[in-house]
A and B are shown apart, each in its own frame.
Chain A
Amino acid sequence: MSEQEKKKILIIEDDQSLQSALVEIIQQEGFETESAFDGEEGLAKARSFGPDLILLDIILPKKDGFEVLLEIKKDEATKNIPVLVLTNLEEVNNIQKALDLGANSYLVKSDFSLKEVVEKVKAILK
């Protein structure tokens, strides 16, 4: 993959150890990444970084994932960016809420391996 066509992925996840594992694997797969550690930073970077896909955690400081998702989908500039929700709250109610707000898909962090995360990212970007 040449530099110009490198797809950009924004990772909004407050847990440092999860964030760095995601960055590592996604960069290994040839993507460009940007990290955000809270909801507000995530929203700002969704606008400035211009990602091709956003990985979004739900429980975040400052603004939670639902709010971030809502604002991403309200903004003309960001509303077409696909969002993959990462969650610990595996209750279907919460996941359904994220899907209703316009998330493309979701995955439960403890149930998925990084490999599966990457596969999902690639499938959405295809």
Chain B
Amino acid sequence: MFWKLLDDLNFIARCKKYKLGLWQCPNFLFLVMGFLTIVSMFGAYFASKNFDDETVTVVSVTTVAIVIITIGSFIIRGVEKIAEANVMKNEFISIVSHQLCGPLAAIKWNMEILENDESSNNLKLTAKQEAFLKNIKEANDKMLKLVNQLLEVNRIDEGRAVFKNDNIDLGEIIDQVILELKDLILEREIEIKKRISPDLPPIFADPDGIKTAVKNLISNAIKYSRQKGKVEIDLKLDGRQILLAVKDWGVGIPRYQHRKVFEKFFRSANEARYRTDGIGLGLYLARAIVENLGGKLWFESEAGKGSTFYISLSPAQKNL
């Protein structure tokens, strides 16, 4: 506790970490302001005590106020700089991702032409050539997926995301997701246990959005499971809410990182960190989508024992 306080006071290291000058760093400025306030308060007190003149008191109190306002304005400028950096970062990501889309699409289409040419002209590639071609294609698809994810996050952050809501069956979405993930499931030899209560009411949601959210939870459960692990998917009515639970017995998330899980670009420091790819946007995106639908997304997890992620959503209103 004491050390944590000391760590909080170690503002120079913190400002350095944020790449802010001392006079732009709120941590430092608050400390200076606090110190000066105390000093000037004492000053004012002694002044009014030793000089029997109200003017002295007025002048010293005013001086204190001016000092506080001046430092306050420094702090505001520091915060502004941070806010500006945030906007610039979003713009940067947006521009870069848009510019990346073009070349990535070009690679994708030109690869397709190569493959087409191979089959239509009866050209035979060697097994080696086939394998390397496949590598390129997979790498490109991965890159496209990442760029799309970045763009999606940007759209949500800037409030430009468009959701086309409709009555949908969440059970069906889960089936689709499992089908799409079948390669990963086979590769990691995961046993998927699915329990979907019959006769669940539909939910009112954007099919693509909710699918992204569900897919993120299930693919995470698979990726962070151990080889030949088990993943349980449970969909049922919980009171008036529809509750989806995705449980794994994998590496789990250490307790000290729990509050960071939904942060952008967060990746847990667990043993699977370097084995799995991703840029730490999946859960951020999933939560943003679910909350946009008025639902909730949360989890329980223990390092080494596994995690359970939950999504709770209201059923669609009837007769809409």
Contact = CB atoms under 8 A, between A and B. Distances in A.
Given A91-B155, A92-B162, A110-B144, A25 B98 contact: no
Contact of A110 (B108, B120, B160): B108
A88 interface: yes
A24 B120 CA distance: 13
Contacts of A18: 102, 105-106, 109
A21 B144 contact: no
Contacts of A90: 151
Given A28-B120, A91-B155, A91-B160, A114 B112 contact: yes
The residue in A21, A89, A113, A114 that gathers the most chain B C-beta atoms within 10 A of its C-beta is: A21
A15 interface: yes
A28 B116 contact: yes
Given A28-B120, A110-B144, A110-B148, A88 B102 contact: yes
Interface string B101-114: 11111101110110
A17 B112 contact: no
Interface string A1-44: 00000000000000101101110110010000000000000000
Contacts of B120: 28
Nearest to A113: B112
Contacts of A22: 109
Contacts of A20: 110
Interface string B71-113: 0000000000000000000000000001001111110111011
Given A28-B116, A28-B120, A110-B144, A88 B109 contact: no
Contacts of B104: 110
A126 interface: no
Interface in B138-167: 144, 147-148, 151, 155, 160, 162
A92 B110 CA distance: 27
Given A28-B116, A28-B120, A110-B144, A89 B109 contact: no
B112 A25 contact: yes
Given A90-B151, A91-B155, A113 B108 contact: yes
Given A28-B120, A91-B155, A113-B108, A15 B113 contact: no
A88 B98 contact: yes
B176 to A, nearest CB: 17
A111 B112 CA distance: 13
Contacts of B162: 91-92
Contacts of B108: 110, 113
Interface in A70-126: 88-93, 109-111, 113-115
Contacts of A25: 109, 112-113, 116
B113 A114 contact: yes
A17 B113 contact: no
B92 to A, nearest CB: 17
B148 to A, nearest CB: 7
B112 A21 contact: yes
Contacts of B116: 25, 28, 114
A73 B103 CA distance: 30
Nearest to A95: B162
Contacts of B106: 15, 17-18, 21
Interface of B: 98, 101-106, 108-110, 112-113, 116, 120, 144, 147-148, 151, 155, 160, 162
The 5 closest A-B pairs by CB, nearest first: A21-B109, A109-B105, A17-B106, A110-B105, A92-B162
Interface of A: 15, 17-18, 20-22, 24-25, 28, 88-93, 109-111, 113-115
26 contacts: A15-B102, A17-B109, A21-B106, A21-B109, A21-B112, A24-B113, A25-B109, A25-B112, A25-B113, A88-B101, A88-B102, A90-B151, A91-B155, A91-B162, A109-B101, A109-B102, A109-B105, A109-B109, A110-B101, A110-B105, A110-B147, A110-B148, A113-B108, A113-B112, A114-B113, A115-B112
